[in-house]
Amino acid sequence: MIRTSLTAAGALLLAACTAGSDEGAKAGLDIPDIAATDISEQTMKDITEQLSSDEFEGRMPGTIGEEKTVALLTERFAAAGLEPGNNGSWVQKVPLVEITGKDFAPLTISGEGTDIALEYGSDWVGVTYREDAQTTLEDSELVFVGYGVNAPERGWNDYEGVDMTGKTAVILVNDPDFGTESLEGPFNGKAMTYYGRWTYKYEEAARQGAAGAIIIHDTEPASYGWNVVESSWSGPQAYAQRGENAPALTVMNGWVQNEAGRQILEAAGQDADKLFAAAKKEGFKAVPLGLEASTSFSNDIRTFESQNVIGILPGTEAPDEYVIHTAHWDHLGRCTAAPDGDDICNGAVDNATGTAALVALAEAHAKVGPARRTLVFLAVTAEESGLLGADYYAANPVFPLDQTVGGINMDAFLIAGPSKDVTVVGPGKSQLDQFLEAALEADGRVSTPNPNPEAGYYYRSDHFAFAKRGVPMLYVDGGEDLVDGGTEAGAAVALDYRENRYHGPKDEYDPNWDWSGVMADLQLFYRLGRMLGMSTSWPNWNEGDEFKATRDEACTAAETGC
């Protein structure tokens, strides 16, 4: 997670977190006192350096980089004292398909008096989720559908009254409340909902029968620049293999640069700013643009099995109750080259650091000895392709979800030095907040809510695959209030990483890194995991949370567990 600065919305989120804390205290949770322990900084350095070396080629699933990663993790899990987590095996097979687009034609926009040709990479990027050797979008009518949201429970439908069959949806980033400073509104104000994620927008366009879906990029609501889009959406793309009765797909999904998107709208005789403003208001109606889009490209298709890596430290008194630790081992492989020709996205921060943390925490727990519950260390594949490894595990759990107490997700430890705080992504959602507050108090630190909730980080990492199925999950990141330099210095480090290294070839290991802040965060994660592992409580989602009903239903039906 990459942050910017604390906002008024963040202050409101902090109030929400405090409210959740009061509720949890009333619930009488069993939160054991846990002493600090030794966690190996050398393990963090060694594994981060290895995983992010050029030898691992960016850890793209289905490559030699995956083979080396899985071999390293199984070796280190075993040496740490863990047992294989999948019925005697260290891995869970994850069936994927890799589609690599090539020979891209320009994206042409045509109509009366209009002839626009957008160049691939600099102006637009696109992929297909279909396993077809050739992708052709031909004379597909463009329809501006605002934020592309169909939310009956919120009384909002951007597709109402329009037949999208064979047409291409032109969509805005984020959701209609983006840009407000409060958390009030039909889509939680400044805090992004799942309707703001690009994954949802493509899925909904397909449900509407669209042939194509094109998102207009904008750096602030997307929370990343065009360089990230170009790098992430070019080259091999991994997807979950589809069953025979899988939902329909669009022919092509893509992005256009902001200026290119505005050019398209203005060629249709629309004022882009007025159209964007109208899309934020309830009752917005989709606008046919009177233009047609065409493009084509070919695809190399490869089906393969990737692997989640699972190690466990079996519990003593309640071995059939599970506390899960997650981190994704994958990254982007080879990607858009830097000016110096370097085209390996090494992913040192994202997420060699989190993967190394799984091993370091496993070592620490094993050295102290088993907890009363089983501790699970799960390194998942294909997070960068849409949380595919985590989603596959959550849909096909090795350990039943109604026997999974909760978990902790670790995704990209930004190297910024020690901080006085930690950043909570999605505070106030569950009673896990009470465990976090106790661990922070023991460490002499405080929690700060996610400073930019509009980025929707709670829906962008592996814990979401578990949360949406009802398992309470914590997503905690390093803080921004640095001991040396305060929040201004912390924001500067985050901004520098996001603009110069995130999802690019320069996210590389540096032997001069100051690991003290990361090690303090790991001490916190150790306490959290150990608290949950030793507790007798089953923390739940707070009243009114979007995931509580799913957990309650699962627990009602469960014979054991929650």
Confidence label for 153 from pLDDT (cuts 50, 70 and 90): confident
Q: DSSP string spanning 35-88?
A: ------HHHHHHHHHHHTSGGGTT--TTSHHHHHHHHHHHHHHHHHT-EESBTT
Out of 178-182, 303-307, 398-402, 508-512, least confident range:
178-182
**What distance in Å separates the CA atoms of residue 62 and residue 241, rounded to the nearest whole number?**
13
Q: What are the pLDDT digits (tens) for 435-485? A: 999 999 999 999 987 777 777 788 889 999 999 899 999 999 989 899 999
Q: Is the pLDDT of residue 110 over 80?
A: yes
**What distance in Å separates the CA atoms of residue 255 and residue 224, rounded to the nearest whole number?**
13
Q: What are the pLDDT digits (tens) for 10-59? A: 333 333 333 333 443 445 899 999 999 999 999 999 999 999 999 999 99
What are the beta bridge partners of residue 298? 102, 134
Q: What are the pLDDT digits (tens) for 360-391? A: 999 999 999 999 999 999 999 999 988 999 99
Q: How many C-beta neighbours within 10 Å does residue 247 have?
A: 8
**What distance in Å separates the CA atoms of residue 421 and residue 311, rounded to the nearest whole number?**
30
Q: Which amino acid is at 152?
A: P
64-80 vs 41-51: helix axis angle to the nearest 10? Answer: 160
**What distance in Å separates the CA atoms of residue 260 and residue 277, rounded to the nearest whole number?**
18
Pair 477, 406: CB distance under 8 Å: no
Preceding omega of 540 cis (within 30 degrees of 0): no
Segment 231-244 mean pLDDT: 84
What are the beta bridge partners of residue 127? 253
**What distance in Å separates the CA atoms of residue 181 and residue 206, rounded to the nearest whole number?**
32
What is the structure's pLDDT at 23? Answer: 41
Q: Is the pLDDT of residue 7 over 70?
A: no
Look at the alpha carbons of 172, 248, 383, 538 in this order and tell me if their dihedral is positive or negative. Answer: positive
Q: What are the pLDDT digits (tens) for 405-446? A: 999 999 999 999 999 999 998 888 899 999 999 999 999 999
Segment 322-332 mean pLDDT: 97
What is the structure's pLDDT at 27? Answer: 57
Pair 82, 71: CB distance under 8 Å: no
N residues, the chain: 562
**Cα-to-chain-centroid distance, residue 472:** 16
Question: At residue 180, what are phi and psi to the nearest 5 degrees?
Answer: -80, 160
What is the structure's pLDDT at 246? Answer: 77
Segment 388-404 mean pLDDT: 95
Look at the alpha carbons of 295, 298, 301, 306 in this order and tell me if their dihedral is positive or negative. Answer: negative
136: buried, middle or exposed (CB in 10 Å: 19+, 13-18, 0-12)? middle
Q: What are the pLDDT digits (tens) for 525-560? A: 999 999 999 999 999 999 878 789 899 999 998 888
Tokens 């692997």 label which residue? 307
Burial 393-431 (b: 16+ CB within 10 A, else e): bbeebbbebbbbbbbbbbbbbbbbbbbbbbbbbbbbbbb
Q: What percent of the chain has pLDDT over 90?
A: 78
Question: At residue 164, what are phi and psi to the nearest 5 degrees?
Answer: -90, 5
**What distance in Å separates the CA atoms of residue 34 and residue 524, rounded to the nearest whole number?**
10
Out of 137-151, 243-257, 292-306, 392-406, least confident range:
243-257
Question: At residue 430, what are phi and psi to the nearest 5 degrees?
Answer: -145, 170
